[in-house]
Amino acid sequence: MTVDNFEIKRAGNVHRKAIAGLIVQAFWEDFQSFEQTPERIERALVQGIDPVRFFLALCEEEIIGVAACSDMEGRAMTIHSPQTLVLQELLEDGTAFIEFVAVAKGSRRQGVATALVRTIVKQGGKQIYKLNVNEGNLPAIRCYEKLGFEPFKHIVEDAPGGGFRRKICMKRGAL
C-alpha cells in the first residue's frame, strides 16, 4: 500500500487491540519463540497497553503505524519482558524511552516511523530521548540516525526461548 497521506494522533482505549495486532505483526520474529499463536500473544499484550503513551499513524482511518513513549512516570506496556530490565538502566529524570515503533508491512519505508518518532520528540517535553534497535535492523537504524539519534551503547539481551539478541542503544536531545 502506498501511503500518500497519513496523520499522527494519540491513541485511546478503543485502539488497544489494533496496537497489539500491529506490534505482533512487526515483531513476530521476536514473538515466535513463545510458541503461541499471534492471536494469543495479541490478547496478552492488549491488557498491558497504556494507550495514553502511544501515538498512531492513520491513513484513511486505518492504523498503519504505532510508537510509544515511556518515562520515569510510567510504561507504555505493563508486561514483564527483557525490555523492562533495559529500561531500568536507561531511564532517569528528564529522559524518555521510545519503544514499540511498528509500521504495517505495506506502509514501510514511506516516512511513517520517521513521523511517529519525530512527533514523540516534539511533544514529549523531555531533554533526552533514548531507544534501542536490533543490530541487524539497518533500515530502522538509518531512520533513527536521520532523526539525530546516535549510538551510545551496545547490549546483549536474552531472547525468550533461548539465545540472545544484540541491540544498539541510541539517544538524542530534544528538538
1 domain-assigned: no
2 domain-assigned: no
Beta bridge mates, 97: 70, 130
Number of Cβ within a 10 Å radius of residue 121 = 21
169 domain-assigned: yes
Say how many domains are in the chain.
Answer: 1
Alpha-carbon distance values, 88 to 57, 59, 164 (Å): 28, 35, 19
Beta bridge mates, 154: 168
Q: CA-to-CA distance for 107 and 152, rounded, in angstroms?
A: 29
Domain range for 136 is 7-173
Per residue in 152-168, pLDDT (tens digit) is: 999 887 776 667 789 99
What CATH number is given to the structural domain containing 146?
Answer: 3.40.630.30
Alpha-carbon distance values, 164 to 44, 79, 134, 157, 170 (Å): 23, 19, 11, 5, 19
Per residue in 62-118, pLDDT (tens digit) is: 999 999 999 988 889 986 554 554 566 677 788 999 999 999 999 999 999 999 999
Shortest CA distance to 161 belongs to which of 5, 27, 30? 30
Per residue in 33-46, pLDDT (tens digit) is: 777 889 999 998 99
At residue 19, does pLDDT exceed 80?
yes
